[in-house]
Every structure is written in structure tokens, then in C-alpha cells.
Structure 1
Amino acid sequence: MANYRYMMSAEDIAKELNCSKSHAYKIVKELNRELAGQGYITMAGRIPRAFWAKKMYGYELSIS
């Protein structure tokens, strides 16, 4: 578990979607706005990996 990266950066998202970093930052900003609306604390330029999986692929990551 020591190597598990809980947060994804905009750079990670740009690589995953094969898009520009500026577009990835726009996506992260929108997702952070959604998280903040739900009462979560957010970090600029980063989103939780589990939230990304849920929003983009429709499933949640489970860590055992």
C-alpha cells in the first residue's frame, strides 16, 4: 500500500486521456467543483483516484 497514489494530478489525467495539460486542468477544476459541492475538501490540480474511476468509468476502486 505504500506505493498507492491516492490523488491523481492533472498531468496523470492528461496522459490517461491523451489530451493537453490545459484541458486536463479544466477537467480537474470541474471535478473539484463537484466534490466541493458535496462538502469534500479539494486540492487544486488534483483529484482522488477513486473519484476519477467512478466518474470516468462508472466503478469504484477497492483497496484490500
Structure 2
Amino acid sequence: MDKLFLDSKEVARLLNVSQQQAYKIIREMNKKLAEEGFLILRGKINTKYFMEQIYKAEEGSNASI
């Protein structure tokens, strides 16, 4: 079974950023989820939501090339 949540170490590794930057990304994503009424876990991000947001961002950046 795939992991339901990613922690900061995993986000940092996937994005090739520092763990401190990964925490910031997780906080921002969790803030959006909380505003939509979802339950969040501090310091972790839902894997599916994370992947959707990352790929959406990549698609948007490629469109401007």
C-alpha cells in the first residue's frame, strides 16, 4: 500500500529542496486544505494532493515556454 501522507524529509527529497523549505511548502498546502474544510496533519501532506499540486505547477510552467 502506498503512503497516504508524506513528511518533510520525503517532500524535500522529491523536490530537491532543503527540509526547511519542504516544511514551508507543506504548511502552505495544508493551509489551503484547511480552508477547504479538510482535516490536516501538522508536518505532513496528503500524497495525492501533493502530487496533483506539483504536477499542476509543472504543467503551468511548461505552457509559458
- TM range, smaller chain: 0.7 to 0.9
More helix by share: 2
The structure number with the bigger radius of gyration is 2
Say which SS state the counterpart of residue 41 (structure 1) adopts.
coil
Distance apart, 1:56 and its partner CA? 0.5
RMSD over aligned CA atoms reads 0.8
Q: Which runs of 5+ in 1 are unaligned?
A: 59-64
Distance apart, 1:39 and its partner CA? 0.1
Say which SS state the counterpart of residue 9 (structure 2) adopts.
helix
CA offsets, 1:7-41, max 9 Å, x none?
Answer: 01111000001110000000000000000000001
Distance apart, 1:53 and its partner CA? 1.1
Displacement over 4 Å in runs of 4+: none
How many pairs are equivalent?
56
TM-score normalised to the size of structure 2?
0.81
CA distance in 1, matches of 2:51, 2:22: 15
Amino acid at match of 1:45: G
Q: Percent of pairs identical after alignment?
A: 29
